[in-house]
Amino acid sequence: MFVLVISGSDVSKIPGVSIAGLNPKVIPYTAPADADLLLWGKPYVIDAIPVDPQGHPTPAIITHAAYCEAGFPILIVRSGTYLPPVVPYVEMNVDPGQDPQTNQAVTKVELLIEKSKSLGQVLGKSTKKIVIAESLPGGTTTAYLILKALGYNGMVSSAGPINPVQLKDQIWENTAKRIGIKFGDLRGKPIEALRELGDPMQATVFGMVTGVLEETDIVLAGGTQMLAVAALLRQAGYDKHLLVATTTYVVRDKYAHFLDLAKQVQVEIYSAPLDFSQSPYSGLADYEKGYVKEGVGAGGAVWYAEQLGVSPDRVVRKTEQLYQAMIKKS
């Protein structure tokens, strides 16, 4: 089963953090639009395809292409988005995350984890393989805060070609000052880290994984956002095998330290060998330049499709077909 957790965080509203944040009016629609597109092939919560400021399409189009070709089952989990999607979903009844520079990030985090654990228990009884993905604007910044607080050293990736490293460092400094901590001070305290610096997606995935039966395989589909979740699990004593499935664009990100962080967290990595360099569509070809790297579990969806006999090249071709149809309608 492929599970997409959609969430929101006020961190995405900080100017310069998220490419979605360049147009603040778009932020509430981003994650639910991704959910609609993933399941139904187009957003219904808003009459537009989610794109970055340069017009590059959301990586949800890759995930949807993998779904179309491989036919794996999908479940949408809403955990703190500003608006609901139109597609059917499981509701976690939680508010969007707050800005950790000024407030606790995730209130009632223990309750959210317990509810998520129950969901994981239910899913674990119905399937032997669960791929968990996310859509959360600003999520690489909250991931950075979590990794710093837990004592993992390295820069996270970003959604666009330029990583706002100085801004992320400043947000860390402001947040650490509010809490009264330094690098690594919350080592061994994952719940406190989630409460103070995290986001609802992290807490939800954390709870789901701890609730899943031991014989069920778990794949965390995402880049450094899922490395942060894996770090939280390791700090909570979770010692089972974890695979983080992402894209080659995250692994190649020159501004980030993805592989080094993965080694510190002790997880296995799958890097989806996507290649749009020969695509006739600039919106997709620019993926090769780092304009879009990961999201909506694109790498994990390619991994899942491969397990079901669908090659990455086939997913690429389907993505181009879907994109061609989208731009013709626009």
Task: Compare 57 and 259 and report the one with higher pLDDT.
Answer: 259
Distance of alpha carbon 275 from alpha carbon 271, whole angstroms: 12
pLDDT tens digit sequence for 1-20 = 999 999 999 999 998 887 65
Distance CA 144, CA 166 (A): 12
In terms of Cα–Cα distance, which of 168, 219, 172 is closest to 193?
172
Structure tokens at 97: 């995350």
Q: Residue 20: what pLDDT?
A: 53
What six digits make up the tokens of 71? Answer: 């036919």
Whether 52 shows a pLDDT value over 80: the answer reads: no
Structure tokens at 193: 């880290």
Task: Record the tokens describing residue 104, joined without a space.
Answer: 């606790």
Q: How far apart are CA 59 and CA 87, in angstroms?
A: 18
Provide the token pair at 308: 């079901």
Report the percent of the chain where pLDDT is more than 90: 83
- Residues 7/200, Cβ–Cβ less than 8 Å: yes
pTM above 0.85, yes or no: yes
Q: What's the pLDDT at 21?
A: 47
- Digit-coded pLDDT (tens) for 89-109: 999 999 999 999 999 999 999
Task: Tell me the residue length of the chain.
Answer: 330
Q: Which two tokens stand for residue 80?
A: 């703190």
Q: Residue 224's domain spans which residues? A: 2-329
Q: What average pLDDT score do residues 141-164 get?
A: 88
Q: Measure the CA–CA gap between 197 and 200, rounded to whole angstroms.
A: 10
Q: How far apart are CA 17 and CA 302, in angstroms?
A: 27
Cβ neighbors of 96 (< 8 A, separation 6 or more) are 7, 8, 9, 10, 80, 81, 82, 200
| pLDDT (mean) for 152-178 | 89
- Count how many domains the chain has: 1
pLDDT in tens, 252-291: 998 889 999 999 999 999 999 999 999 999 999 999 988 8
Nearest by Cα to 9 from 78, 77, 96 = 96
- Find the range with the poorest average confidence among 177-186, 251-260, 304-313: 251-260
What is the CATH number for 43? 3.40.50.10210
How sure is the predictor about 23, in pLDDT bands with cuts at 50, 70 and 90? Answer: low
Alpha-carbon gap, residue 285 to 6, rounded angstroms: 26
User: Chain-wide mean pLDDT for the chain?
Assistant: 93
Radius of gyration of the chain (CA): 18
Residue partners of 296: CB distance under 8 A and separation at least 6 = 4, 34, 38, 58, 59, 60, 62, 63, 133, 134, 135
